[in-house]
Chain A
């Protein structure tokens, strides 16, 4: 009888354990959490020391994402892309993060050719543009040499044509490089890093019924008191509380 009771008791315990696997209170086991937090604190330390490598910012983004802070992850991925617009991992993770975001506000639906142009411009990071500038400068100088030493009585069409093409390419590459450098150094983008940011159409009344979810990307136009005037992806101008946004320049 005692054995029967003991077996019944064990069976009941086992049933209880199996039921707990479906829905139960949890005992804290923060192994993975600690790993990410540890990695994050190490990376933050490196950043504080002045390191500014794109991979460092990318890794910070990955850590924040794993710790459930998609807003900060988006911010660090943007920072990575600001330094190296062709960073494939950052581009991929940022896109997936935007896709995973409950909000579809950030998802761009550009026409194919426009998107292709953006992709090409993104692929041309600072390093690639610098090489292109040097290559086109070299070609331009070579063509200039050719033109200078071209036989005076010969038709100068070919060297002038080549010189024009190379000069045009040089100007284009230089312009893109300068613009990218300017935008990188004066990047006015910011990301919503709170769960939901309220947006206001009017600075004075602070009356609104709209909001922006976390990971939304905006461009800061101006700032007054504790508000930022920001331009949304659709081009509209709104006011957002400073506490709800984190600027790229601030990290």
Chain B
């Protein structure tokens, strides 16, 4: 029953729905400008909108006398909204037609018919006024700025829509110095523009060739081509800034500006590339005029200077900050901040510099000096002076700060003056070191005494090593060491005896006997004063060879005879006994006397 009631209602809605939608179709037309210049582009829009879907027949481009059709585009926009649970859709179709004026004067775009479904809608005619092109400012172009819509030559599509086709297109890069003459070290701004009458879609800078006599910095470099209309050599061009450089001339004479090269992409009937180079440009660089004032630090340009004291009344131990602001255009990156000298009453720091500059050329430099009074009372502060060469007038100018008096009261601050002095010392440059003479400077490690000390220290090592080795040998093998020591002494005594024998001294036997007895006693742990027979027995028990024992016995007997019963031919006896002694000593020292 319910279904039977609602079914006709739904069918009715379905049928009436499109009819309702068709009733809300609207057609409107518009142009992007009512007044335009002959070289401008005119955009004529035709918009068909309806709630619900709409399928208009595409209207042909209106044929307008005085306008040349260039191209056309269309776009469709659909929207769907849910309002109070109900779906509402709307559609709009926009047809855009681009025209170029072919004459000046008033031109009327006639009314146009648009068929939507079974209905035909008509637009209103639109009249526009076309003016002849105006002349642009000539040779010295201004920086590229977007024109306002109120400007008569404003063209919102100029940057991406093609210019009217011309018989022969021209494109080139021009280098335009801001000024033709500068002083040495004065920044010279040069701008590189692309001038074209063609449909340039993009440009790629590939090379920047430099010449002698300058340093440079980038002042401005746009990210995209932004065209404006200018007149150049009697023709209408579109131009776009490519780059703006700041040149800092080092030397006087004619400065050749950097040469820019790149390739442009053109749209004719198809894309094509073309290489371009900037045309040569030069600037005359003049020497600085004479008569530079004292303290001239090389600043050239047009500057405005302001100053400010943070306070003019402090307590002893407190500091104030003196701020100087230098604004304008000039060679900021080629001069340093002037220093203010301290005196007996105040101490002034070196300045803290803060820059807000574009390419070191244009902007503001802020200098801050910390001033600490040393005495209380009224202190007349030193004057700040800054001199520069005014590039416009060619004269040296001096800025003198105003005379200021600092009122210093007795200090109650917890910050002590020495602390502030210390802080200030950190901010001040050291002056020259006063010296009467400059002695020859030679690093210590290149002086003789350094190497002497090092050599002595190193030489002590081998000496010490020898001593240590002997010490260790004695520690490790005491018997062997004792034997070696005894043998060494025996050799010494033998040498002594040998020298006595050479002089036929009677002491030969005494020395020889003593050294032999001492060696035998030390080497074989024998008691002293043994008889010859007992000695032979003991030596035999120690393993000495019989031959050696008999030689020793013989020598000792001869020695006793020579000592206690000297004869006339004792000299001959010494000569015969010395080889015997030598033989005994050799046998004892070489093999310990053993066979």
Mark A residues whose CB is within 8 Å of B.
21-33, 39, 46, 51-56, 58-59, 62-63, 65, 68, 70, 83, 89, 92-93, 96-97, 99-103, 126-127, 129-131, 133-134, 137-138, 141, 144-145, 148-149, 152-153, 177, 181, 194-198, 200, 205-209, 211, 213-214, 241, 243-244
Residues of A within 8 A of B398 (CB): 23-26
Q: Within the complex, which residue of A51, A58, A133, A141 is in contact with B445, where a contact is CB–CB below 8 Å?
A: A133
Check B334 against A209 for contact (C-beta < 8 Å).
no
Closest to A129 in B: B445
Give the docked Cα–Cα distance between A195 and B334 (Å): 5
User: 0/1 per residue, B420-453, Cβ < 8 Å to A?
Assistant: 0000001111111101001111011100001001
Closest to A128 in B: B444
Apart from the given pairs A21-B400, A63-B432, A130-B450, 9 other A-B contacts in the complex at a CB distance below 8 Å: A25-B398, A32-B295, A33-B295, A51-B440, A92-B429, A127-B444, A141-B457, A141-B461, A145-B464
Q: Within the complex, which residue of B296, B433, B439, B472 is in contact with A58, where a contact is CB–CB below 8 Å?
A: B433
User: 0/1 per residue, B284-305, Cβ < 8 Å to A?
Assistant: 0000000111111110000000
Which of B215, B292, B453, B468 gathers the greatest number of chain A CB atoms within 10 Å? B215
B492 interfacial contact with A, CB 8 Å:
no
User: 0/1 per residue, B202-221, Cβ < 8 Å to A?
Assistant: 00000111101011111000
Give the docked Cα–Cα distance between A129 and B444 (Å): 9
Give the docked Cα–Cα distance between A243 and B397 (Å): 31
Residues of A within 8 A of B435 (CB): 53, 55-56, 59
Residues of B within 8 A of A194 (CB): 215, 250
B503 interfacial contact with A, CB 8 Å:
no
Give the docked Cα–Cα distance between A181 and B445 (Å): 10
Check B397 against A54 for contact (C-beta < 8 Å).
no
Q: Evaluate whether A25 and B461 lie within 8 angstroms (CB atoms) in the complex, with A53-B438, A207-B208 already known.
A: no
Give the docked Cα–Cα distance between A68 and B553 (Å): 104
What are 15 inter-chain pairs, A to B, with CB distance below 8 A?
A: A58-B433, A65-B429, A68-B296, A96-B350, A96-B429, A99-B353, A100-B351, A134-B450, A144-B461, A145-B464, A148-B465, A149-B468, A205-B207, A243-B250, A244-B215
Q: Within the complex, which residue of A102, A127, A208 is in contact with B208, where a contact is CB–CB below 8 Å?
A: A208
Q: Within the complex, which residue of B357, B432, B441, B443 is in contact with A102, where a contact is CB–CB below 8 Å?
A: B357
Closest to A47 in B: B438
Which of B248, B428, B467 gathers the greatest number of chain A CB atoms within 10 Å? B248
B542 interfacial contact with A, CB 8 Å:
no
Check B444 against A130 for contact (C-beta < 8 Å).
yes
Check B443 against A127 for contact (C-beta < 8 Å).
yes
Residues of B within 8 A of A68 (CB): 296-298, 335-336
B471 interfacial contact with A, CB 8 Å:
yes
B271 interfacial contact with A, CB 8 Å:
no
The smallest C-beta distance from B116 to any residue of chain A, in angstroms, reads 57
Q: Evaluate whether A25 and B397 lie within 8 angstroms (CB atoms) in the complex, with A126-B445, A130-B444 already known.
A: yes
B399 interfacial contact with A, CB 8 Å:
yes
Check B294 against A31 for contact (C-beta < 8 Å).
yes
Residues of B within 8 A of A181 (CB): 443, 445
Q: Within the complex, which residue of B248, B296, B351, B431 is in contact with A196, where a contact is CB–CB below 8 Å?
A: B248
**How many residue pairs at the A-B interface have CB separations less than 8 Å?**
190
B76 interfacial contact with A, CB 8 Å:
no
Closest to A58 in B: B433
Check B432 against A198 for contact (C-beta < 8 Å).
no
Residues of B within 8 A of A134 (CB): 450, 453-454
B458 interfacial contact with A, CB 8 Å:
yes
Residues of B within 8 A of A127 (CB): 443-444
Q: Within the complex, which residue of B216, B291, B476 is in contact with A198, where a contact is CB–CB below 8 Å?
A: B216
* Count of B interface residues, CB-CB < 8 Å: 77
Give the docked Cα–Cα distance between A137 and B209 (Å): 59
Check A130 against B445 for contact (C-beta < 8 Å).
yes
Give the docked Cα–Cα distance between A241 and B212 (Å): 9
User: 0/1 per residue, B312-352, Cβ < 8 Å to A?
Assistant: 00000000000000000001111111000000000000111
Give the docked Cα–Cα distance between A27 and B458 (Å): 70
- CB contact list, B162-218 vs A, under 8 A: 185, 207-210, 212, 214-218
Q: Within the complex, which residue of A21, A46, A101, A206 is in contact with B209, where a contact is CB–CB below 8 Å?
A: A206
Q: Evaluate whether A26 and B360 lie within 8 angstroms (CB atoms) in the complex, with A59-B432, A89-B433 already known.
A: no
Give the docked Cα–Cα distance between A28 and B295 (Å): 10
The smallest C-beta distance from A216 to any residue of chain B, in angstroms, reads 11
Give the docked Cα–Cα distance between A59 and B475 (Å): 65
Give the docked Cα–Cα distance between A163 and B458 (Å): 14
Check B454 against A148 for contact (C-beta < 8 Å).
no
Check A53 against B337 for contact (C-beta < 8 Å).
no
Residues of A within 8 A of B4 (CB): none
Q: Evaluate whether A137 and B445 lie within 8 angstroms (CB atoms) in the complex, with A149-B464, A196-B248 already known.
A: no
Q: Evaluate whether A46 and B438 lie within 8 angstroms (CB atoms) in the complex, with A126-B444, A145-B461, A148-B468 already known.
A: yes
Please name the 9 residue pairs, one residue from A and one from B, whose CB atoms are nearest each other, closest first. A196-B215, A26-B293, A130-B444, A148-B468, A126-B443, A195-B334, A53-B438, A89-B430, A130-B445
B309 interfacial contact with A, CB 8 Å:
no
Check A23 against B297 for contact (C-beta < 8 Å).
no
Q: Within the complex, which residue of B350, B431, B476 is in contact with A152, where a contact is CB–CB below 8 Å?
A: B476
Q: Within the complex, which residue of A46, A53, A54, A100 is in contact with B350, where a contact is CB–CB below 8 Å?
A: A100
Residues of A within 8 A of B461 (CB): 141, 144-145, 148
Check B429 against A22 for contact (C-beta < 8 Å).
no
B460 interfacial contact with A, CB 8 Å:
yes
Check B294 against A195 for contact (C-beta < 8 Å).
no
Closest to A141 in B: B457
The smallest C-beta distance from A137 to any residue of chain B, in angstroms, reads 6
Check A137 against B450 for contact (C-beta < 8 Å).
no
Residues of B within 8 A of A56 (CB): 435, 438
Check A92 against B430 for contact (C-beta < 8 Å).
yes
Q: Within the complex, which residue of B215, B337, B467 is in contact with A100, where a contact is CB–CB below 8 Å?
A: B337
Check B292 against A28 for contact (C-beta < 8 Å).
yes
Residues of B within 8 A of A93 (CB): 429-430
Check B399 against A22 for contact (C-beta < 8 Å).
yes
B517 interfacial contact with A, CB 8 Å:
no
Check B430 against A62 for contact (C-beta < 8 Å).
yes
Check B294 against A23 for contact (C-beta < 8 Å).
no
Q: Evaluate whether A205 and B209 lie within 8 angstroms (CB atoms) in the complex, with A23-B398, A244-B215 already known.
A: yes
Closest to A212 in B: B215
B226 interfacial contact with A, CB 8 Å:
no
B396 interfacial contact with A, CB 8 Å:
yes
B538 interfacial contact with A, CB 8 Å:
no
- CB contact list, B260-311 vs A, under 8 A: 291-298
Check A52 against B444 for contact (C-beta < 8 Å).
no
Give the docked Cα–Cα distance between A101 and B210 (Å): 25
